[in-house]
Amino acid sequence: MYAVGKVRMCASEFHLGDQTVTTVATQGRAEVGGFVLWQKTPEVWFFELIMAGHKMSAGSDSKVAWRQSAAEQSHASRGPPRPLRRSLQGLDPRSIANLFSDAVCIGEKILNNEECFILKLEAGASTLRARSAPAFDIIHHTVWGYFSQRTGLLIQLEDSHLLRMKSGKGHRRSENIFWETSMESVISDYRCIDGINIAHGGHTNVTLFRYGEGSVNHKRKLEETSTVEEADFNVHGLTTDYFLPPADHKKDVDDQNK
């Protein structure tokens, strides 16, 4: 499949004192960009985003997932390749079904006048270890999916991720810095393409929170609105060569927030 769309993003930063906000900085005006996604299977995909004159790309060949931008060399994810987050936000029903196949139903909730059941998925200890590295540990990663009881479609996706950086040496080795990422995506405007319901609209709020010993608490909020302008299936001539990682990719750096 492939999908082409537009994205609008804006961000703000908060530098926190003991219990109060000491500095608030808005990161300029909202930026508008575009993206294209090519996907052969849930683990074989290529994604490109152009925003504010900068290009970022990411991909997976089912063996290694990577990301790359003009400002840095490519970096590979640790652990087994995972589906692109954007595919999980209503673009790929198969990836969504695979993700929540082992989830647990924890209740019901009404969202936007839609009665939903809630599925919760928590990454196991072995998965967290595989995605960790000597410089950091992933403490937990939990995903919640809110599915319409009427249609079975994903209405909202939530994600919580906690990472501990191991900073300092010797007696300072215990001074850890924590990064907590929270994401909430509201998924909308489902349209039927070749008998498959594909979401053409979405709104995502992301909060990045840094805290820990010896660090100034820092919070950043990102807001994104996306629309899919075109999507299709059964694209001919799309070989595995389209999904090969760059020649300079590194296998020791984790890319967890793609």
In the chain, the domains with their CATH numbers are: 2-243 (2.50.20)
Q: Highest mean pLDDT range out of 12-21, 28-37, 71-80, 97-106?
A: 97-106
- Of the given ranges (22-26, 55-59, 67-71), which has the lowest mean pLDDT? 22-26
Residue 17: its pLDDT value, please? 54
Q: Does residue 240 sit in helix, strand or coil?
A: helix
Question: Across the chain, what does the average pLDDT equal?
Answer: 84
pLDDT one-digit tens code per residue, 81-120: 677 888 999 999 999 999 999 999 999 999 989 999 999 9
Average pLDDT of the residues in 40-59: 90
Q: Could you give the dihedral angle defined by the CA atoms of residues 88, 92, 95 and 99, in that order, rounded to the nearest 10 degrees? A: 40
78-91 tens-digit pLDDT: 666 677 888 999 99
pTM: 0.84
CA dihedral 125, 129, 134, 135 (to 10 degrees): -70
Asked if residue 60 lies in contact with residue 43, where contact means CB atoms within 8 angstroms, the answer is: yes
d(CA 11, CA 200): 23
